Amino acid sequence: MQKTTNHIHLIIILAVLSSVAPMAIDTYLPSIPNIAYDLGVSIEKIELSLSIFLIGFSIGQIFGGPLSDKLGRRKSSIFGLLGFALFSFLITFSTHIYELWFYRFIEAIFGGIVIVNATAAIRDRFHGQEAAKVFSLLGTIRALAPMLAPAIGAFIIHFYSWKAVFLFLSFYALIVAFWVYKKLEESFTYNEQTIKESFKLVLKNKMAVKAMLVLSLSFSGFFIFIAKSSFIFIEHFNISTDYFPFFFGFNFILLIIMTRLNILFLKKYTTVLLIKIALAIQVLAGVIFIINYDHLTLITIMIIMGGYMSMMAFIFGNGLTLALENFPNNAGVASSVAGVLQFGLGAIISSFALSFHNETFLPIAISVTILSSICYLIMRSYK
């Protein structure tokens, strides 16, 4: 089993590789009102493009897992990044909402192919508590992406059109592809199993599936907050798009701090216990949100959002470890199943929750509380 401290450079590469999704989502959050105005549609239709992205992202992981296990982590990463760069560029030619949705969907498919490899490459090298620490470190570095991405997006639209945001994403993917080509060493072991057999092996493991469900449902609550962040800060509290990244980034500063705490706690406590405690805190935050939804100030909504979202530091890395631990030869497929459930269910659930949009925070509060409660009940049955 390899040690975390000897592979910081590798972890940074994999964190940047897996940051394609948060960069693609969070960079254009400040420009959502601008895109809606430019395309002549309601802001809810642009918010829906976030869910469309997640659907494409989950589909991409269905193909990305087997591709990763057959071709290797390096080759399939480069293939996905080049496709992502191409369709990010094509988005700049969108003149209608349906064009935007279509290009975002295909862009997301290639993004899904990319992210599978980062998770599988870690499973190739690390196991058990060490893997949980690596996933936490990965989460710490990757948390910089959603913290910096809105600032980058806000900076771009301050001087240029929203289309420049997608030009940035295209160049970002090309740079990462070159870095992967030069620096990422191959780590996979060729597996003779068919794709069908690999998926069947993963899906038959009940405990792994439970961990994947917790990952997907908790991510749904997390994503609802991300999708509604423009509404909360820009629309409801009238925060300028220039200052939006500071308010939004506060959540990810807390996430980074909690991720560091998770690494420390892993020396004394089990991954299962840490996940249960984090979910219980999310439920508590959700209940407080419901009770006070109509009397929240900017400070209190930031505390509730930060408290809820930062708990993903204990859920993400530890949950992935539980989900992938038993699949040394099928890490790509196991990663894809976890990703499909996480982003596929996230897209469906968040789309459903977003459909109840009104001018209050109550739909958001109810949605995130229900999701965290279900996750907690699932973990209560985890053995």
Which bin fits 40, alpha (ψ -120 to 50), beta or left (φ > 0)? left
**Residue numbers in the chain where pLDDT is lower than 50:** 1-6
Residues 6+ apart with CB under 8 A from 6: none
Structure confidence at residue 94 (pLDDT): 85
Say how far apart CA 186 and CA 112 lie, in whole Å.
19
Residue 333 · residue 199 · CB < 8 Å: yes
3-state helix, strand, coil in the chain (%, to 5): 80, 0, 20
What are the angstrom distances between the C-alpha of 338 and each of 95, 164, 180? 35, 32, 23
Structure confidence at residue 51 (pLDDT): 78
Residue 304 · residue 296 · CB < 8 Å: yes
Structure confidence at residue 5 (pLDDT): 45
Structure confidence at residue 70 (pLDDT): 74
pLDDT in tens, 143-200: 667 667 778 888 888 788 888 888 999 999 999 899 888 877 766 555 666 667 777 8
By C-alpha distance, which of 98, 350, 145 is closest to 228? Answer: 350
Query: CATH 1.20.1250.20: does it fit domain 4-380?
Result: yes
By C-alpha distance, which of 375, 190, 128, 153 is closest to 276? Answer: 375
Work out whether the CA dihedral 38, 354, 19, 137 comes out positive or negative.
positive
Strand, coil or helix: what is 178? Answer: helix
